[in-house]
Amino acid sequence: MKITATILAAVTFAVFSGCGGAEAKTQVSVKTIQCGMCQKTIEQGLSKVRGVKNIRVSLDDKMTHVTHDPQVIDLAGIEEEISKLGYQANETPADPAAYEALPGCCKVGGGH
């Protein structure tokens, strides 16, 4: 009987431990992106953020599409992380020091 209860508990744990990964899809306007380097900077930067699962930056519509775990990071957190990379995210302004550290091609009016 103990073996059956132990096996049942182990199976229940295995089934429910895989169900915790909630996903949300969020879009963030990044109007200040200029080029492929901007795209790469945001994608690489956000890929290091806990809770972010997938990132796609579109230069065409200047949007960042993020799949994330909403229990770990929310929209405001994603906006803050993009700001720390030097880019405006929705209405969250770019961090001034991070913006100044961007290459010239990634700054507004940087030759694109």
CATH number where 29 lies? 3.30.70.100
Instruction: State how many domains the chain has.
Output: 1
Q: Does a structural domain hold residue 13? A: no
- Statement: residue 95 has pLDDT above 80: yes
pTM over 0.85: no
Q: Does a structural domain hold residue 48? A: yes
Q: Does a structural domain hold residue 16? A: no
Average confidence score pLDDT of the chain: 86
Range of the domain at 72: 22-106
Higher pLDDT, 20 or 84: 84
Maximum Cα interatomic distance, the chain, rounded to a whole number of Å: 74
Sign of the alpha-carbon torsion through 84, 90, 92, 98: positive
Q: Does a structural domain hold residue 30? A: yes
What band does 7 get if pLDDT is binned at 50, 70 and 90?
very low
Question: Up-side HSE of residue 22: CA atoms within 13 Å toward CB?
Answer: 7
